[in-house]
Amino acid sequence: MRVSIRFFASLKEAIQLDRLELDLPETVVTIGDLRQYLSGYQLAWEDVFAPHKNIRAAQQLQMVSIETPIIPGAEIAFFPPVTGG
């Protein structure tokens, strides 16, 4: 399944990339699976997407949890939590 992934704020800075198109393996079916897959995608990404890091995700502009199934062809965004002031 092919997806478009966007990275924002400190994640974008850490991996030096704002967008990525990927054909995912069949084992990647949820947002949590994708996050785990990304942690092994490049060596430098392991810490950025580590399970203890607080990262939010959206799919098709809707906030989602790690249990959310990935929609084929979806745009998925990862970003750190934000606060208002």
Whole-prediction pTM value?
A: 0.92
pLDDT for 85 equals: 56
**Cβ distance 59 to 70 under 8 Å?**
yes
pLDDT for 83 equals: 58
DSSP characters over 1-70: -EEEEEE-HHHHHHHT-SEEEEE--TT--BHHHHHHHHHTTSTTHHHHT-TTS--EEEETTEEE-TTPBP
pLDDT for 3 equals: 98
Which residue numbers in the chain have pLDDT < 70?
Answer: 83-85
pLDDT for 57 equals: 97
Give the domains, in start order, of the chain with CATH numbers. Answer: 2-79 (3.10.20.30)
CA distance 29 to 14: 25
